[in-house]
Homo-oligomer: A and B are copies of this chain.
Amino acid sequence: MKEILIATTNKGKVADFKTLLTPLGIIVKSLLDYKDIIDIEETGATFTENAILKAEAISKHFKTNVIADDSGLAIDALQGRPGVYSARYAGFEKNDQANMAKVLEELEGIPTNKRTARFHCVLALAIPNDETKTVEGTCDGIIATSPIGDQGFGYDPIFFLPELGKTMAQLSKEEKNQISHRANAFKQLKGLLESINPGKETSL
């Protein structure tokens, strides 16, 4: 059987090529197949569910060792929101500015001592033919009244760390990766990494 990859993510074009090529006995693949696996939906109710879901789907697809990260911000005054919806809190996918603006608006007038929050990070390690493992790390802070700092990403500019007197976005990459929720989860993952196999070379 001949196989041809159609270099498009346009559904209409893929349909046209299937109509044209299938009668010739040619198997049609397209970049849409890649896009679907990349844009995998996070349908879990918890960070742990989402991390496992992503790690296992991607590991199964690419037949290699995978780490998936599901992380987010839980604000006490907002009953734990934005939580698993952190990346799309303002309704758009991954719009950091809009997400921070929504959080700041919801916290308007709330005094500092009631702006406590916690970053969560769950890492799932999926290894082909092995059980998926998860670890969780957290990092405590206070939601600032406006964004400060230009490092990091997500809610980092409004996440103030009282012990350091800085927001997460004012830390260097090295500083952040010593104290962040992701770093804390990673410390627990380190031991598990030593035991894994080299992993298939993915054809990226």
Select A66's contact among B5, B62, B67, beta carbons within 8 Å: B5
A77 within 8 A of B: no
Nearest-CB residue, chain B, relative to A31? B38
Q: Is the CB of B38 within 8 A of A9?
A: yes
Give the size category of A's interface with B.
35 or more
Copies in the assembly, this chain: 2
**Bound Cα distance from A64 to B16, whole angstroms:** 20
Which of A139-147, A159-167, A196-204 lies at the interface? Answer: A196-204
A45 within 8 A of B: no
Residues of A within 8 A of B (CB): 1-13, 15-17, 19-20, 24, 26, 29, 31, 33-35, 38-40, 54-55, 57-59, 61-69, 94, 152-154, 173-174, 176-177, 180, 182-183, 186, 190, 193, 196-204
